[in-house]
Amino acid sequence: MSKIFVDACFGKETPYTPVWMMRQAGRYLPEYQEVRSEAGSFLNLCHDPQKACEVTLQPVRRLDVDAAILFSDILVIPNEMGMQLDFVEGEGPVFEKPIRNQEALEALRTGEDAAKRLHYVYETIELIKKELSDDKALIGFTGAPWTLVTYMIEGQGSKTYTICKKLIYTEPEFMHEILSKVTEVVKLYLEKQIQAGVDVVQIFDSWAAALEKSKYMEFSWFYIKEIASYLKSKYPHIPIIVFPKGIPAYLDEIDGEFDVFGVDWSTPMALAKHYLGDRYVLQGNMEPCRLYSKEATYECVTSIANTMRKGRHIFNLGHGILPDVPVENAQYFVNLCKEVSQR
């Protein structure tokens, strides 16, 4: 059975423009909260294929979105490379021993050694594929090497990324060494996700906007392109989505062997269409806070539909759905997207 979401990723005409939401398996859903609390900790939930499968499927059942996205976290990668990871309540993820020198870098697991330890992710994918209906796509994902490395070096989320940036401006070779090691793991990780059954992969570069243009191209985009080329050469039938958040001023230098460009809410859709619309399918870009209001949702969905004129587009938010959004409004958004784009 053909999947409308996969078709849309390749720019094929579909009966309507498909829709999903970043973080759709998340805290705004009471059924998610229930499983999350049974799991005890966030990391437990990521490690438990049965439970991760369940929360992955919840938004598909509830909202009838066109794609499920694997429930996991980008930081399981550095975790399985050997870095102790804790999710501290109210503070977010913390690596107690960040990577700041050659010795710490050498001590990490690399390549296949790290990728195979992520077996619980591959098992989750297999479970989901058994349950997910044939017309829905399953999206696998990873963090982009740059985004992963910000956590590995800073040790936690950061406002200024000064430790990373000091390395970029004073020890660029060392920074490239870290990024290369992470890139090798990410390639194998996505490859194993594909082998386990995902239909599409998405690369999240959540902290793209932390770097000025020339350094972004050199220290992040370069590695995303390398990952995309590697996968495309082996798995041309698997669409690749990239989502570098917050870089509207860098779009004129974006190229590479991927299929879909995720447009965040700070990048006007018309601007993304101008620079990328001929070469890539665009995904996004509603400001997630518009989900607080049906009127604001309507205004944006119809505006995006009008800008894209039903062509080469996938509906989504411009960032993850927030925990305090009413489920009813999320449902309204999904229904509206399908309705306005009916052919």
Instruction: For residue 307, state whether it binds a second copy (rule: CB under 8 A).
Output: no
- CA–CA separation, 108 vs 83, rounded Å? 8
For a second copy, which stretch binds (CB under 8 A), given 29-37, 94-102, 103-111, 292-300? 292-300
Minimum Å gap between C-beta 333 and a second copy is 13
> At its nearest, how many Å lie between a second copy and the CB of residue 295?
8
Q: Which of 40, 61, 111, 292 binds a second copy (CB under 8 A)?
A: 292
**Of 5, 265, 315, 333, the one binding a second copy by CB under 8 A:** 265
Dihedral sign for Cα 9, 15, 20, 25, please: negative
Candidates 11, 98, 197, 268: give the one binding a second copy (CB under 8 A): 268
The least CB distance from residue 290 to a second copy, in Å, is: 6
Q: Which is nearer to a second copy, 11 or 248 (CB)?
A: 248
Q: Is position 94 an interface residue for a second copy (rule: CB under 8 A)?
A: no
- With a CB cutoff of 8 Å and minimum separation 6, the contacts of 164 are 149, 150, 153, 154, 158, 175, 210
Q: Is the dihedral of CA 32, 35, 38, 44 positive or negative?
A: negative
SS (H, E, C) 70-130: CCCCCCHHHHHCCCCEEEECCCEEEECCCCCCHHHHHCCCCHHHHHHCCHHHHHHHHHHHH
H or E, element range at 273: helix 269-276
* Total residues interacting with a second copy, rule: CB under 8 A: 28
What is the dihedral angle through the alpha carbons of 248, 249, 254, 260, rounded to the nearest 10 degrees? 10
306 binds a second copy (CB under 8 A): no
Q: What share of the chain is helix, strand, coil (3-state, %, to 5)?
A: 55, 15, 35
Structure tokens at 59: 């938004």
The residue among 120 and 332 lying less far from a second copy, judged by its C-beta, is 332
Q: Which of residues 183-222 bind a second copy (CB under 8 A)?
A: 209, 212-213, 215
Residue 267 in contact with a second copy, rule: CB under 8 A: yes
Cα 136 to Cα 65: distance, rounded to the nearest angstrom: 8
Q: Does 248 bind a second copy (CB under 8 A)?
A: yes
Q: Which residues are catalytic?
A: 23, 27, 36, 73, 151
Per CB under 8 A, residues contacting a second copy are 160, 162, 165-166, 168-170, 209, 212-213, 215, 246, 248-249, 265-268, 271, 287, 289-290, 292-293, 296, 318, 322, 324
